[in-house]
Structure 1
Amino acid sequence: MLKKISLCLSLLMSVFVFGQELNCTVIVNSDQVEQTNQQIFRTLERSLNDFVNKTRWTGRQVDPEKRIECSMLLTITDFENSSFTGTIQIQSNRPVYNSNYQSPVFNHQDKQFNFNYVEFQPLFFNPNVFDSNLSAVITYYVYIILGIDADTFSREGGTPFFKQAQNIVGLAQGSGYLGWQQTDGNRTRWELVDNLLSNTFREYRLALYNYHRLGMDNLADNQLLAKKSMAASMNLFERLNQNRPNSFVLQTFFDAKSEEIASIFSGGPQTDTNDLVSILSRVAPLYSETWSRIN
């Protein structure tokens, strides 16, 4: 009977995860561009919002309340004719069971972002052909968001989405645009999805599941047990950090999670945080000031 119940729960969770789409706020910031006519930036913003939110990325119909809350901020630093240069900041959240809280799961700024766009140009994505760097970058991050979200609900459940993102990388590598190749520097789109699909970084994905499903989702019922599960997931990060110090995926995790971790472990039922703070200081030293608030 227990096996049947577990199977049913797994199937329901699978439908929940893979049926999710996005409720994404896309903002185009053109404050740094000396351009009298701002209309093209507003048109671009509307088109991107429609593209991201109205495309059925998973092929399933999803209720609005189950969509992933996320945002994309395009900051345009240079614009000439139809050529745009700037950055894109991507953030996504994940609902916590039995609460109204949205837990941040991904926070990353991509600084290698340039594209061509003509006003009113339709935006679409062809999974077999590289047509537009704008569409490719946006679609790539849609699948990264979907994959990371799925990993928090099911162990390595995001693999199909990460493979979609990896396919985009393969199509884009001959385009000449920065960010798609291994040789384009650190924190590239190539590196991010390579890390996510590599067995070398498997601890990151397992920690995502343990932290959220075994930890965050149990906070309402048993805070002490939840906090212990969340603290234990940091051991996986330490193991990863020993093998791959300062890895890209670790940086994205703590860029999203540092404030949340400090808040959770600074209140509620007390646990021994000495070991936790020690691990966090080794794994994410950039946030040492944040960790100092944990007591």
Structure 2
Amino acid sequence: MRILIAGASGFLGTRLAGRLSAAGHEITRLVRRPATGPDESTWQPSQGQIDPAAVAAADVVVNLAGATIGRRWTAGYRSTLRSSRVDTTGTLARAIKQLPAADRPRTMLQVSGVGRYGDTGDRPATEEAPAGTTFLADLCQVWEAAARPAEDAGTRVVLLRTAPLLARDGGMLKPLLIPFRLGAGAKLGAGRQWMAWMALADWLGAAEFLIDREDIAGPVNMVGQVQCTNAEFTRALGRVLHRPTLLSVPGFALDLALGGLAEELQISQRAVPAVLEKSGFRWSYPDVESALRAAVDV
């Protein structure tokens, strides 16, 4: 298949492009600089500019673009988080809708986040759960809504509601490894909050699986099969690294260090992968400890 990827130079995009290319798919990367070869196409999503021929040539469009969540949220950065997602998604979706029906890509995989559910408490949140009221919940709603023109045009749109990913060189695990290895690993607050996560290898496998499964559309929770609390995650990482995990980080310290992001880290998100389970997807790392061991090669 011919696959057009936005965000192909990012943490997820480089790995997904490599996996799909190795599987024999033809990959074209959307870039914001002049294209340097036939496998690149220039676009400027903040200005709504994209080459319609690049979209028409694709069987599948994958949109992974968006500014990183993992830094301190100022008011200005909140605006960046929103525009970097809505502009890219809207540009792609409108380009798909404007094509003649025969030229439209069959599928659009659109990344989103489990933050859409807000604070779920102890309630398991399937893909049918209502949206929350946090900043990320609102962001995910407008982000997903920006893909609607493609869906209205008849393209199959899959919303990848992604949990924080476990990988040595990126995702949420990378910044944790040094303090945990120094014996300073700590749960966040009381640690009773549910914590969404997914192994990077399983995310990549699920994305490829969903490209092929033309019977699946709409939201898909990209999360590990077995949910855990923050305290359980902390103890598991301590066991994997053979380090103590007796500390806890109080909420006020998180607020000082991370601003608005701190609130999101302390809420409870018990997202469950109902669609993937029903579809027969098989996780390589269904529980958090096996995922952590694979991520740090222990």
User: TM-score band, normalised by the shorter chain?
Assistant: 0.3 to 0.5
By percentage of residues, which structure has more helix? 1
Q: Which protein shows a greater Rg?
A: 1
What's the TM-score, normalizing by structure 1? 0.34
More relative contact order, 1 or 2 (CA 8 Å, 6+ apart): 2
